[in-house]
């Protein structure tokens, strides 16, 4: 009778461990999928800060600089079609307000759920320092 009990535990232990590993793996993947939009937001924010410094120096963004900004975002992995940029387009004088707003639609894909669009918006305001 003791042999029967030992034999069944030898069979069930690996199955329980495998199920536990599978559940932990699924939870880790879900957490990673939920954290990724925050990482994208931080990328967007740091790029916005970088270009607001350029705007502070020159007072506005030229179309050439906007194209460089778009290329910079694309190189970071952002989809060009989902990026919208609003900015100060006219030359400003010292002390005049300037702004840069980056908008991005991130598609969040979670298992067993429909994809959801996470709208990211980063806006920086400053003044012209030239």
Q: What is the pLDDT of residues 68-94, one digit of tens each?
A: 999 999 999 999 999 999 999 999 999
Give the predicted TM-score (pTM) of the model.
Answer: 0.77
Which residues lie closer than 8 Å to 33 by C-beta, 6 or more apart?
108, 109, 110
The residue segments making up the domain with residue 79 are: 2-127
**Structural domain count of the chain:** 1
Tell me the sheet residues that pair with 60.
none
**Mean pLDDT within 47-67:** 93
**The two structure tokens encoding residue 95:** 């002390």
């Amino acid at each position: 009778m003791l042999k029967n009990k030992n034999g069944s535990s030898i069979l069930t232990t690996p199955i329980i461990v495998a199920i536990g590993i599978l559940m932990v793996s699924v939870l880790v993947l879900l957490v990673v999928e939920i954290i990724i939009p925050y990482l994208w937001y931080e990328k967007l924010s740091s790029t916005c800060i970088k270009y607001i410094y350029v705007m502070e120096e020159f007072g506005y963004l030229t179309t050439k600089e906007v194209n460089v900004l778009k290329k910079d975002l694309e190189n970071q992995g952002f989809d060009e079609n989902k990026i919208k940029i609003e900015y100060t387009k006219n030359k400003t004088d010292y002390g005049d307000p300037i702004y840069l707003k980056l908008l991005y639609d991130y598609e969040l894909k979670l298992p067993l759920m429909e994809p959801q669009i996470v709208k990211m918006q980063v806006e920086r305001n400053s003044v012209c320092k030239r």
